[in-house]
Structures are given as structure tokens and as C-alpha cells.
Structure 1
Amino acid sequence: MKLGTMLDTTVLRHPDKEALAYEHQRFTYTELRHRALKAAQVLTDNGIRPGDVVGIMTFNVPGFVFAAFGAWYLGATVVPINHKFQAPEVKYTVEHSGAKLGIVSTELAETARAGGPDITWLETEPSAPGSFDTQLDAAEEAVPGDFTDEQVAQILYTSGTTSSPKGCVHTHRSISQVATLINLNMGYRADDRYLICMPIWHSAPLNISLVPTLQTGGTVVLQRAYHPVDSMKIIAEEGITTFFGPTVAYVAPIMTAKKLGIDFSDYDFSSIRRWNYGGSPIDRSTAGMLIDTYGTNQFYNLFGMSEMGPTGCLLGPEDQLRKAGSVGRTAMIGNAMRVVRADGAEAGPGDTGEIWFAGDTRMREYLGNPQATEAAFDGEWYKTGDLARLDEDGYLYIVDRSKDVIIVGGENVFSLEVEEAVIAHDRVADVAVVAKPDPQWGEQVVAVIATTDGEAFDVEELRDFLSDKLARYKLPREVIITEELPRNPSGKLLKHQLRSQVAAG
């Protein structure tokens, strides 16, 4: 199904129901469709045609939703751009995706234009002449484009096996299947109200929060950006039933309440049906603390990746303590999963193997990278690169990531990308970037460095050097100095040794 058609069907079922809420703004499903079709006309007026690529780099604001559905009605492709990116990262995304137009929050416009100077960036939120919002108000509804659901809808950028991020190509059909699968597995209903306070450009808030909620006729409540106090207050104010965030989004409100002298029990969570989390599993002590503090066991760990939409498997409330740290036992309904040992055999209890997924939510390919596409697929199966151990009951526990992805508060950080930025410093002779377990953020970035002069290297000096090259969440929180990094005879870094050393302190 085309994503515009999906929205059309919800309009038919719930024309006057609240679809989107942002601060004091409210939009019914009829109004959402109207503004999406007007957005399609704005894109057309700015030279976008079916098959063209539109980058969207905003906070969680209605303009993102209008622009995305406008592009999908038109038959254009949406590339969500991380609002934390610095200019070099924007440049790579714009150039690699072939974006011809950008929609950007005003506060991010300077960085966006520095990274993509050769395309037009329309600002959303201001009423200035020529802005996206001004053009949207003046536009007529466009006629939806003539294309099939095999048209590309999204290019989701993710870290891969090289230092450059890869673009996961998803069609209207695969994303609509993601929505259907999530609704089936999570039981979302038309009376649900989903708070999106995590960045909407991320594949999880976009495709497991926004799109499924609009498919089923629920209400999406946008918060411009997450805040450990304000996000908790919005839950009661808006009657939120579903919340999604990484582990830190649950721990931070508790820590902040203690710091500010707030009684956490004063927060009203009576409307909540589901506390969803992702990015990394939660250990038993943290799980117990969250269940006690939030007063419910209704936590769901959604494990997936952008290549699958993101879908995969989940760990439900009944297993949060019993199987703490696991990502689940079976694939979500609608997907298939295998765990494959290094010898190609199916993994059994006690074995470790690579997780493979198959299903209609799988990406078509990595954009412009046939070699990486071929390496990632085995027939219908996507090979995740995540290694998991199976316990005696068949539950999966991630033991390593063959792609060296570090997950910081739900954000993927590819170590090679950070290493290439660090090695440019004139005092760095060699570097390895690894993850250090962190009870609040899941993992933190640690740089193990051999310096050219053998002297100490302050972490703040490194962070200052990297501040205009990498997003803040990618910056190392700790620097460890070593005389020589461990490598095998072929020169490959022995990162498992470094991870063990870093974890041991």
C-alpha cells in the first residue's frame, strides 16, 4: 500500500479525529491530509518530481509530518537527516542521497546550508516570506502522483561495515508493512495517544511510532525535543498511552527528579499502557529499578534495525525481569528469524550465532552500494551482524556486534567514523574507538589512543577538536593512552581485547 493511500483510509474511518498535536496546535485527520497535499504542491512548485529526493532536517514539529506525507503523496523520496549533524555529515547525506531540496528547522538552517550549499533549504516554523510554512499556507492541494507501492519512500542512513554511513532503501510497501506489523504485535488502537519526543528523523520514532499510529487512527503528540521533566509532565497533560525512548530516557527523569528535589511519584502515568524502549537491552537491576519507580511492568524492548524498517523481535512485560538483558525469543509476527552459527548451522541453546531476519519489511538495497547489499543478504535473509547467545529457553542475548556499532542513548555510533576523525589530530599516532557499558546511556564512546609524543591527552582537548566534525553523541567521553594498540599479524585491531580492558576499568 502507498503511504498516502494508508492515510486516506484512516481519513475515511476517522475524518474528524485528532491526528496530530503539537503544543497548542491540533490537526484532525482531514486537516492532516489537506496540509500534506498542500505540501506536495509546495514541493512541486520547488522543482520536485516523482522519484526525486527530499531531505528533512527538523526537530519534532508538524512541518516534518506535512513535508514527509507531501513527498509520499507526490511519489518523492524522504531522507530524514539527523538534526544533531555537523556540516560535513549533512554534506555526505545530501550528496550521497542525491537530495534536490531540503526542509529544515530555522535553528538548524545555517548548518544545513553549510553542508548542502547547492540545494534549496525551505525553513519550517517561521512565517517569513518564502518559508515552507508560508508557501504551505498559500498552496492549493496537489493531485497525488501516479505510481505503485514499489516506489521508494525512504532512505534511512545507518552505520555499516565501512566508515561511511549506508542508505537503506525502503519502498512504500515495506514501510506500510512495518506499520501493519507493529500494530499487530503491539496492539495499538484508535484511542492510543503516542508521545514522540525522541528525534522523529530516527527510524524508530518515524516508522514504529508515527506511521503505525496514523495507520490505526491514533493521535501523535509531538514534543519538539525530549526533556527529562517536561516529557514526564506531557504524559498526564495529553493523556499519553505509549512512550518510546532508549534506556536513558527512563533513567534521566529519575536522576533529574532527585537532583531537583521532585517527588517522582507525583508524576501521573495512569494513562500509560506501554513503555517502549530500544537501542540496547536493560540489565536486571535497572529493569527492577524502573519497574519499581514507574509502578508497572508494562515495558517492551523492541529490537530491530533500519534495514528491517526497523522491525525484528521484542521482549514483553512478562520477561523484563525473568529474562532481563534479552532481546526476545522469536521474531515479531510477520517476520522470520534465524540464529546462524559460524559454520552455517542453526544455533541451539548455549550456542552463539548471527541473527538473520526475513520479511516484507526488509529494505530493497543499500543505496549505490551493491557490494554491501550482496554481503548483507543471503537470499531472502538479512544478516544483521549482531551476534547473540541462546539460553536454555531459546531467548537471545546480544554478545557482540560484528559491525562495531556503539549505541549511545539509542543512537548508533560507528567506531571507524570516529576513528577517522580522531586520527586527523596531529598528536594522534593510532586510535581505536570502542564501547564502554553505561547504566544510563547503554554505552559510551571511549577512544584508546597512542600519541605521537607519548604525553597525556585530555578528553576535553579531543572533544573540542571533534566538535565541528561529529555530532555530540559521537564524541568520546573518555580517552585512554596506550603505547601501542593490539593488532593481529595482518594489522587488524583486536578490539575484543580493548573492550574487555575498558569494561574492566
Structure 2
Amino acid sequence: MYLTQGLHRAVQQHPDGVMLVHGERSSTFAQVADRVARLAGGLRDLGVQDGDRVAILGLNSDRYGEYLLAVPWANAVLNPVNIRWSAAEIAYSLRDSQSTVLLVDDAFAPLLPALRAAYPGLRTVIHYGDGPTPASTVSYAELIAASAPVPDARRGGDQLAGLYYTGGTTGFPKGVMLSHANLISSAFGALATGYLPEFGARWLHAAPMFHLADLAGWNAQVILGGAHVIIPMFDPLAVLRAIDAHRITDVLLVPLMVQQLVDHPACADYDLSSLRHIIYGASPISEALLERAMKVFPSAGFTQCYGMTELAPVATLLGPQDHTARLLRSAGRVAPHVEVRIVDEQGAEVAPGTVGEIVASGPNVMLGYWNRPDDTAAALRDGWMHTGDGGYLDDDGYLFVVDRIKDMIVSGGENVYSAEVENAIATHPSVAACAVLGVPDQDWGERVHAVVICQPGAELSIEELREHTKTLIAGYKAPRSLEVVTELPVSGAGKIVKRELREKYWGDHARQVN
């Protein structure tokens, strides 16, 4: 198995079919294969050797798609950079991965002086934007035009495919090493459920392409030989226009994006009937939002994916038929390519309904963390990836994720899982979005604290919120303090970054628990 395999198949079976659409540009499978072979040749001419890391920093584009195929074609390793990082964080990932070649677009070219100063090992920068080529960079277009195509190295199997840096919830981010077999097995397992694209699908890339969630959709679509429609970044109006104009069938979003789409005042002005699959992740979807979204996208089935970068990334899926009131907070059932268990602190499997750590095993489990043997050994134990997520399996095999284990709040001696409190808070009609965390408290050790964005025009008091949540969960789990904000910090994957919220309360403390 190798990442370029689907492209070869598509060129053989329908070379004139459209593969990439970005703005006014459109490329067939045959055209993409030729450009990829030339870009791979150009990379080799620039000194890229077998196994070298080649990084990219840019918004979504068709050129990004060419990069995803050309790097393994050249027998090298992908390193997609998080576009939401600071220059210092980006330089860290380049230095840590020892990436000597970087592709950059117009949006991020201004960062080059800072990146070069912070990481002198950056030997070559290839500019693939539409604007003027910056000084001391190589023109992407000229490189492809001047380079002879090279044969596909067909790098695959257990060979390293890419380094995908985690968000870094604590300390510096870790480079997750994923093989071709990891990525392809995850894509095949997800496709086998029938919840993802089918032959003839048209996938919209609106989520960031540097993130493994969107890359999972990319890999599945390449396997099927389908078309990719790409917009630079998520924008509600741009998504609505793309679905209408290109008859999009599949898209990956996070619930916040779904909310912004269904709330957009121009939503009713577009034909959205082509949409068949809405895949979402990062967090469950609320019942109220699901009901609204199903009215806006009546032809679409909703599928939640649970996983992580270390699992390449799919572990479980909640299919359209399971989007019922009873199962809506579930992360679904285990995908065909992976095995999931719940274990206690000693690693022993626990009974259904018992909260423990979620662990996974299968061909999708990462090779390890780049240059971090101790972290790898801690995460991969006895063939199982220890996710750090707390959850339980019910009697029917549905997974319920209750929290990151380290985010568990101990209040008055009782364990409180913040996800459970967040689920209760989210049902309040005044709440648009929320996050729950433990903050220092003189009496309780830690108290349950809610950070809430209210619906437009709505107000909320702590007394009202406590009374509401106590109708759904135990009283000791109800929030004891409330902060109303206008926005929450969000990661590239669409997850709320609780680390930033905690800093306000834990900044002067030596540890993050009381």
C-alpha cells in the first residue's frame, strides 16, 4: 500500500476525469500525474534524498494536493505544518524534523525571514503562490516546467510517510510518525463502513489540509479516484457557494463549522441538495444543532469520527442511522481496521459501562514519536496505543468519550469528567458553545468552572446554569462558577484549547491539579 497508488489507478481508468479544482484552475488525473512526476523530479534535483522530510506551510490549494503526492513519489517524507502556529513554533517543527526544504504560499511567505533566522538549516524554500516569487526562493511553476518527470518510487508499506505534529497540549509538540500502511489502512477501514465517500463523489476540502482529519478524506478520495474541490480555508459563504456550484457530495467539518453554515443568513439562497455525507469530529454534535442541520441538508447523512493523529486518525464512527437521542453523545462503534478496549490503570480490560482509558490496536497505530523513544514507550504498551482519553463502551459496543484523563476535575474528592458537564450545559437554550475546566478552589480543591459563549441576545447567570445542569447530571458536577466570553480559543482541528483557558487560573501554580 502506498499513497500514490490511487492516482495510478485513476490515470489508468479515467485519465481525463477532473481530479483537482481550485478557484479557476482545474486539473485532470493525467495532468496531475504529470505535474506530480515533474515536481518529484524537481525535488530530487534540489537535493532531496530518500527519506528526507519536505515541509509545507500554506492554505488549502490544488498545489497542496500535488505536494501530498509528489513527496512520496520522490521517496521523501511529508511534513505538513500547522498554519496556526507562531513563527517560533513553526521553526521548532522544522528544526525538530530536520526539514531542509519548505514549500510556502503567498499567505506565509512574510514569515520566511523569521523562520530562516530561527532555523538556519532551512536550505531551500519553494514558493507556490500566485504572487511574485520572493527573493531567495524557488518558483514552484518554474521548477515543474524545468524538471523532467521521474518514475514513482512507490514508497509504501511500513516506510515512513509523514510527520504530523500534535497540537502540543503540554510542552513542545511531538512529531507523530505515520507509515503508508497506517494511513491507507485507516482510510480503507473508514471506507468499509459505507459512511464516507463513494465512487463518483466530489469532496470539498474546507477544513485545513495540514490536519490529519482532512488528510483522511484526501486519502479516501484518492483511493476512490474522486474529485477534490478545494477552498483556501473555511468560510461559511465560500462553502455554501462551493456546494452549489460544484455539486459537492462530501465534506468534513467540525460542529462549530456546521453551526456557522446553518446560521448563515444566505444559507437558503443556495442549492445544497447534492450533499450526501457530512463527516464531523473534534466533538459531538448537539441534538438541537443536528435537527437544524438536517433541515438545511436534508439529503445528507451525518457521521462522527473519533480518533487521533496517532491512529492515522480513525478509531470509531457514529453513522447516520445512529444519530438518535440515545446515541448522539456516543463516538460510535469501532471501525473494521482497528480494535478498541477500555482499561484500568493497571492495563486490565474493564467491564462495559466502566470508565477507563481508551486504548487501540491495529495497522493504523503510529510507528512512534519522532526522536522521542521515552514518549513512544509510554504511549505504545504491549501493542496498544494509550490514547489518554477516558471513556467507556456500552453493552452494544458504542464508545462514549467522557474526557481527556488529565482533564478530569477532582472536586471535593469526587471525580468530575468535564465532557459530561459540557454536554449538559450545551442543552441550555442560551448556550452557543462552552468549555468546562477545573480551577483552584480553597474549599473544594478544584471547582467546576464553565466558560460559555451565549446565543445572540441571550444572558445567563450561574444560578440559572446550575439549576439547569442539575436536572441532567449529579449536583456535585454542576458548575460552581461561570465566565461568559465572546470567543473560545480553537485549535487547527477545531477543538477548544483548554490549555489557554487554564493559564488564567493556574499560571502561578506549580501543577495543574489541586
Q: For 1:8 and 1:397, locate their aligned partners in 2 and report how far apart those are by CA, in whole Å.
A: 39
**1:164 Cα deviation after fit:** 1.1
Distance 1:383 1:246, change over 3 A: same
Report Cα offsets for 1:26-63 as digits up to 9, x if no partner. 11111111111111012112221111111111111111
Report matched runs for 1:344-423 at 5 Å: 344-391=347-394, 393-404=396-407
Q: Closer, same or farther in 2 for the Cα pair 1:98/1:323, shift >3 Å?
A: farther
Per-residue displacement from partner, 1:328-355 (whole Å, max 9, x unpaired)?
3421011111111335332333310111
Q: Distance in 1 between matches of 2:63 and 2:500?
A: 34
Taking a change above 3 Å as real, the CA distance of residues 475 and 372 of structure 1, as seen in their structure-2 partners, is: closer
| Corresponding position of 1:188 | 197
Instruction: Name the counterpart of 2:126.
Output: 122
The answer (yes or no) to whether the contact 1:161–1:403 under 8 Å persists in 2 is: no
Map of 2:245 onto structure 1: 237
Deviation string, structure 1 residues 58-112 (Cα, Å, up to 9, x no partner): 1111111112211110110110001222111111110111101000112201224
Aligned letter for 1:493?
Q
Q: For 1:216, which of 215, 221, 224 is the aligned residue? A: 224
Alignment map for 1:423-502 (pairs within 5 Å): 436=451, 492-494=511-513
Q: Distance in 1 between matches of 2:164 and 2:453?
A: 27
* Pairing 1:71–2:80 present: no
- Residue 199 of structure 1 corresponds to 208
* 2:56 equivalent in structure 1: 56
| Cα distance in 2, alignment partners of residues 217 and 26 from structure 1 | 15
| 1:279 and 2:290 aligned | no
Q: How far 1:302 sits from its partner (Å)?
A: 0.7
CA separation in 1, counterparts of 2:396 and 2:154?
49
The separation in 2 between residues aligned to 1:198 and 1:236, in whole angstroms, is: 18
The residue type paired with residue 194 of structure 1 is W
User: What is the CA deviation profile of residues 119-142 of structure 1, one whole-angstrom value per residue up to 9, with x for unaligned ones?
Assistant: 122111236463112212332212
The corresponding residue for 1:26 is: 26
Q: Which sits farther off after the overlay, 40-49 or 288-297?
A: 288-297
Identity, % of aligned pairs? 26
Structure 2 residue matching 1:363: 3-state secondary structure: coil
Structure 1 counterpart of 2:37: 37
Aligned CA distance change for structure 1 residues 279 and 187 (closer, same or farther; 3 Å): closer
Q: Where do 5+ consecutive residues of structure 1 fail to align?
A: 408-412, 416-431, 441-458, 464-470, 496-505
User: RMSD in angstroms over aligned alpha carbons?
Assistant: 3.5
Q: Matches of 2:252 and 2:160 in 1, distance apart? A: 26
* 1:218 Cα offset (Å): 0.8
Cα deviations by residue, 1:417-438 (Å, 9 ceiling, x for unpaired):
xxxxxxxxxxxxxxx9998466
The answer for unaligned runs of 5 or more in structure 2 is 409-417, 420-434, 438-446, 456-484
Q: Structure 1 stretch 161-170 or stretch 99-108: which is displaced more?
A: 161-170
Give the whole-Å Cα distance in 2 for the aligned partners of 1:480 and 1:3: 40
Rounded to whole Å, the distance in 1 between the matches of 2:377 and 2:106 is 40
**Contact (CA 8 Å) 1:277, 1:302: kept in 2 or not?**
yes
TM-score (norm 2): 0.77
Cα 1:341–1:91, aligned 2, differ >3 Å: closer, same or farther? same
User: Any idea what SS the aligned residue of 2:84 has?
Assistant: coil
Could you tell me how far apart the structure 1 residues matched to 2:248 and 2:63 are?
A: 22
- Number of corresponding residues: 442
Q: Structure 1's 290 and 347: CA in aligned 2 closer, same or farther, altered over 3 A?
A: farther
Alpha carbons of 1:196 and 1:478: their partners in 2 closer, same or farther (altered >3 Å)? same
Find the counterpart in structure 1 of residue 235 from structure 2: 227
Q: 1:40 to 1:95 in 2, by over 3 A?
A: same
**Pair 1:154-2:162 in alignment:** yes
Give the conservation status (yes or no) of the 8 Å contact 2:284–2:331.
Answer: no
User: In the alignment, what sits opposite 2:186?
Assistant: 178
Corresponding position of 1:426: none
Give the letter for the 1:189 counterpart.
E
What is aligned with 1:451? none
Q: 1:473 to 1:383 in 2, by over 3 A?
A: closer
1:245 Cα deviation after fit: 0.8
Give distance in 2, aligned partners of 1:486 and 1:125. Answer: 44
Contact 1:41–1:142 (CA under 8 A) maintained in structure 2: yes
What code does the residue aligned with 1:213 have?
Q
Which residue identity is paired with 2:126? Answer: L
Contact 1:328 1:396 in 2 (8 A): yes
Distance (whole Å) between structure 2 residues aligned to residue 165 and residue 342 of structure 1: 25
Once residues 356 and 474 of structure 1 are traced to their aligned partners in structure 2, the CA distance between those partners, rounded to angstroms, is 23
Distance 1:187 1:143, change over 3 A: same
Displacement of 1:150 in angstroms is 2.6
Cα drift, residue 402 of structure 1: 2.4
CA separation of 1:439/1:320 partners in 2, compared to 1, >3 Å: closer, same or farther? farther
* Pair 147,212 (structure 1): closer, same or farther in 2 beyond 3 Å: closer
Whole-angstrom CA distance in 1 between matches of 2:31 and 2:196: 26
Q: Which residue is equivalent to 1:336?
A: 339
Q: Which residue of 1 aligns with 2:478?
A: none
State which of 305, 315, 327 in structure 1 corresponds to 2:308: 305
Residue 298 of structure 2 is matched in structure 1 by 295
Judged with a 3 Å threshold, the aligned counterparts in structure 2 of structure 1 residues 366 and 132 are, in CA distance, closer, same or farther, namely: same
Structure 2 CA distance for partners of 1:104 and 1:5, relative to 1, 3 Å: same
One-letter code aligned to 1:271: S
Q: Report what 1:144 is aligned to.
A: 152
d(CA) in 1 for partners of 2:57 and 2:289?
Answer: 33
Report if the CA contact (8 A) 1:341-1:351 is conserved. no
* Residues 1:287 and 1:348: Cα distance change in structure 2 (over 3 Å): farther
SS in 1 for 2:56: strand
